[in-house]
Structure 1
Amino acid sequence: MTDNRDDEGPAQYASPPCFMHELDPAYQVPLSDWSDVRRWRKAERERLIGARLAVSADARAAMSVRIAESLDALIGDIAGRMVSLYWPFRGEPDLRGWMASINARGGRTALPVVVEKGQPLVFRAYVPGDRLEKGVWNIPIPAEGEPVLPDIVISPVVGIDPGNYRLGYGGGFYDRTLAALPFRPLVIGVGYELQRIPTIYPQPHDIPMSEVVTEAAGA
């Protein structure tokens, strides 16, 4: 996923310029037109990624440890379960150490792979140390392996609202993937408290997270 992709969703309609990006993020005006929501999301995405990157690397590392601890408390016994994680990108929580601990405790892990624009992700089994190659936007992906179906999907968020709706990078990959899976896994959004926002203006194609975990607590 990347931050310079436009949100996918309903067809685009002509409308006057939207100045929502100039408002205080806490000030919310109802948006009914998808083109306005799309522009608002793009501006909010840029703001939130900037805020995340402004946090020091040491502080993000400490928050990532707390997030991993909360994930353990939420999930419980991990043995025999397949967990899809992600390779950290642009200041996202770094859960690679937790990934290694899952495998050490009898669980299995996978990473998402972008096949092409407009298509669901696939998940490939991955154990730390397996060979990686550069995928879309140079994010590392497993170099080989058959697709797997995860029991738990850990999804990084750019923003999250009180309904557990996730603001992502705009490609629509996670929503499209969750809609296409033959069963609904436990989907946990992970991020920092600074990424909580009043709303993402959820649309019919948006799928909420089952749970949300930050450095503060699960929600």
Structure 2
Amino acid sequence: MNIRLVAVDEHVLLRLGLASVLAATPDIVLVGEAASAAEAERVVEQTNPAVVTLELSLPDGDGISTAGRLRIARPDLGIVLLTASNDDALLYRALDAGLSAFVTKSAPVSTVLAAVRHAATAPHSFTAPGLQTALTRRSSHGGLLSPRERQVLLLMRDGTSLPAIATRLQVSEATVKTYVSRLYSKLRVNNRAQALMVAVNQGLLPTADVAA
């Protein structure tokens, strides 16, 4: 039986490209397209697909949040995050959100099609290129920082000043400066902004939690 697919991406060229590829793929049929989160929910309701491909950034919302709403309505829907971004933090978000697959738009066509087929047959099992390596990095990074260093990093994320961090943790400002120095050394950075960006990229902080 053919896999019914809905493609969600605001870029028409991406959807046209995917449609062109699927025209020569006998086991996958493109039954609907959407350019926004709201439109995606309507199209999925109308077409009853087995799989949806979602871009992370949509005009009216976040692709992973949209995936959550679609899954509530259709628990067995296969969901593939198909996006331009390629970093561990995003892969971890897709994994933790219960998506079926994560693949970049620059991946070979065969990889994208394999992700769609996986999502159709095992929607609750996650796959991604380089998944095992990324999980190994996540495990090692989990032990990179001490509990107190992680506390300091979280307070830095919230924009808390060093004196305020000292007050919050009930330690001296000199001690906080020592923690910050260790953080910078472990993350190989020179300032707060760099530390937060590296922490996000290494999966130590969720992307959405970093203040602009």
TM class by shorter chain equals: under 0.3
Report the TM-score, using the length of structure 1 for normalisation. Answer: 0.25
Q: 1 or 2 for the larger relative contact order (CA 8 Å, sep ≥6)?
A: 1
Q: Which has the larger radius of gyration?
A: 2
